[in-house]
């Protein structure tokens, strides 16, 4: 039985309640949310609600938007469901805007003082992420991407860079390279974004590492933005260029790393072009 407009609106609103809590790093109870929602959805069972949550995650992922990490995307949904959810979100832009802004909002507890190490927070990079289906790309552009453009170089971005500097210093210190740890430079803070990377660090044997940091409060599958300058820098310095992707930053920061040219280590999709009269 197809879900009604009212049912979709109820479950999407509840989903975004949980999503905003997750992006804030606030604990919430999925079971309690589901049970409360079931009271408003007579005739629907827990498995149907769980499955629909995963469908919502898939639709958000397809649109390059944050989604709940605990509800893995399941893309076998009807086009009508996607259309209904996108239509609802267009009418309720506050829900979507709040979640999107929280994805890149600074955290109140700066993790810089934590004793985290690269080894303790690093995970394997995600693989085979789904890119937006051609039929849905226009929908994504009409939703919220314009809010996200340029947000990663914000207070959250600076917090992430400061956090990575701490990681790099502790790493070199554990390798008995305190002098190299002292030579780490916060390049973007001193020279701005023009260098094409954020941090100059080193390997234990003294080789330079050019580190570009991308930080989000969302999960590790969340896409990030790169500039043409960053791509060019990574191509020129492919052996020493590193992308550090920090995620779940507001809760329990995690990290994956990619080394090499960005157009070889990531799947790039053109989003914005600079134009002038022809």
What's the confidence (pLDDT) of residue 100?
78
pTM of the predicted model as reported, rounded to 2 decimal places: 0.83
Q: What is the pLDDT of residues 13-62, one digit of tens each?
A: 999 999 999 999 899 999 999 999 999 999 899 999 999 999 999 988 88
Q: What are phi and psi of 196, to 5 degrees?
A: 90, 5
Which residue has better confidence, 278 or 184? 184
Q: Which long-range contacts (CB under 8 A, 24 or more apart) does 187-195 make?
A: 188/153, 188/161, 189/158, 189/161, 193/153, 193/227, 193/229, 194/229, 195/233
- Determine the Cα–Cα distance for residues 174 and 197; give it in Å rounded to an integer: 24
What's the confidence (pLDDT) of residue 144?
52
Average pLDDT over residues 169-175: 96
How is residue 137 annotated by DSSP? H
Asked if the model's pLDDT at residue 215 lies above 80, the reply is: yes
Q: What are phi and psi of 160, to 5 degrees?
A: -65, -40
Asked if the model's pLDDT at residue 129 lies above 70, the reply is: no
Average pLDDT over residues 246-251: 93
CB 85 within 8 A of CB 10: no
- Domains in the chain: ranges and CATH: 5-103 (no CATH), 155-265 (3.40.1350)
- Determine the Cα–Cα distance for residues 176 and 181; give it in Å rounded to an integer: 9
């Amino acid at each position: 039985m197809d879900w009604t407009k009212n049912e979709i609106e109820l479950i999407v609103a509840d989903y975004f309640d949980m999503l905003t809590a997750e992006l804030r790093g606030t604990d919430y109870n999925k079971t309690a949310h589901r049970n409360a929602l079931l009271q408003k959805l007579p005739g629907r069972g827990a498995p149907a609600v769980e499955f629909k949550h995963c469908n919502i995650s898939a639709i958000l992922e397809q649109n390059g938007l944050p989604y709940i990490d605990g509800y893995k995307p399941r893309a076998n949904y009807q086009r009508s469901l996607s259309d209904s959810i996108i239509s609802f979100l267009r009418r309720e832009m506050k829900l979507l805007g709040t979640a999107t802004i929280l994805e890149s909002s600074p955290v109140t507890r700066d993790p810089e003082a934590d004793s985290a190490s690269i080894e303790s927070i690093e995970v394997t990079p995600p693989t085979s992420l789904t890119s937006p289906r051609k039929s849905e790309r226009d929908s994504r552009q009409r939703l919220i991407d314009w809010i996200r453009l340029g947000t990663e170089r914000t207070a959250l971005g600076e917090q992430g860079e400061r956090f990575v500097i701490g990681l790099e210093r502790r790493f070199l210190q554990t390798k008995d390279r305190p002098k190299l740890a002292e030579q780490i430079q916060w390049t973007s803070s001193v020279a701005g974004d023009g260098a094409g990377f954020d941090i100059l660090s080193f390997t234990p044997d003294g080789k330079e590492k050019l580190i570009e940091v991308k930080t989000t409060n969302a999960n590790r599958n969340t896409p990030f933005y790169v500039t043409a300058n960053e791509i060019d820098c990574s191509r020129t310095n492919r052996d020493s260029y590193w992308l550090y992707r920090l995620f779940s930053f507001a809760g329990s920061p995690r990290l994956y790393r990619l080394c090499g040219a960005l157009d070889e280590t990531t799947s790039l999709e053109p989003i914005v072009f600079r134009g002038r009269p022809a």
